[in-house]
Amino acid sequence: MALPLLALAALAALPLLLRSDFWLHFAIMTLYVALLGQSWNLLGGYGGQRSFGHAAFFGTGAYAAAVLQLDLGVNPWACLALAGLAGAAAGALVGALSFRYGLRGSYFALVTLAFAEVFRILADSVPFTGAGVGLQIPLRQSAANFQFPDKAGFYAVILALTALATALAWWVEHSRFGAALVALRENEEAARALGIDVNRTKLRAIALSGGLAGLAGSFYVQYYLYIDPRLAYGVEVSVAALLVPLIGGAGTVFGPLVGALVLRALNEASSRLTGDAPGLNLVLYGALLIAILAFLPDGLVSLGARLRQALRRRAPGHA
């Protein structure tokens, strides 16, 4: 328990070292993507329910935060909590429908994608989301208003949120609920035979996952002060959410953190090299996804164990 807390303290002190806004922005985006990835990881990594439409939950959180503060004048901090609830509700809705009717594997992936697209088209068409124009949050910088004058404030918030998500993943790994979740991932019939309420366990996982995605959505809105249907419900969000844990290691506590760091670093390097050419970043994402599945299906965190195994095989005398 001491080591993670120490790491957290070190990360909290990071803004004191990072004098440049560039690196602070990089750290914020890494943690933000890690939060999104951890959200996917709870459902897809531990539960094996691989969603292709996590944007449905992220976008609902983002729009909940934006609409509540713009139309009803709710304080943005309260909006953060409510966005989490909205994301969880969206997750529960999609989950209740698809798990009740027994959708699994590819079918579940496709139905989540379809939900995200339906939400996107709705957001593009109804008036209170600002339709295609999007919603702009007026600039009123103050900590009470969840609009920090400098990036260090945002860093503290996203660090807290991502730490919460990581702690949640740790809890899942050590709880009865998590054991049930992993059991149904490995073999649903066997899990049911053991007396696990499969649908309820999946439903709790997707609500938890949606809640975290909703928090990420709210953070995004406060950081950029803008949201539109494409940013909220676009395929890019769903792809980032699944790519991060798959690269790092799905179904592990720290996989999403590793994945987020690698992905952001690659992103940064590629936009340096190519000068932000449209699409090229996503080409890299896609190629990376294929490469990881081909060569390292258990993600980067499995690399250590693999290396050790390889070394042991090299030197059979020193077992």
Q: Quick check: 155 and 34 in contact, CB under 8 A?
A: no
Binding track, positions 161-200, relative to another protein; x by CB under 8 A: ----------------------------------------
Interface with another protein (CB under 8 A), residue from 105, 141, 175, 308: 105
* Number of residues counted as binding another protein (CB under 8 A): 42
The Cα–Cα gap between 314 and 227 comes to 54
Binding track, positions 112-131, relative to another protein; x by CB under 8 A: -xxx-xx--xx-xx------
29 binds another protein (CB under 8 A): no
Q: Quick check: 40 and 54 in contact, CB under 8 A?
A: yes
| Interacting positions 70-99 with another protein (CB under 8 A) | 97-98
Residue 288: both structure tokens together: 């990376």
Interface with another protein (CB under 8 A), residue from 70, 81, 93, 103: 103
The Cα–Cα gap between 260 and 214 comes to 18
| Interacting positions 270-309 with another protein (CB under 8 A) | 277-283, 285-290, 293-294, 297
Which residues bind to another protein, rule: CB under 8 A?
50, 52, 97-98, 101-103, 105-107, 109-111, 113-115, 117-118, 121-122, 124-125, 235, 239, 242, 246, 277-283, 285-290, 293-294, 297
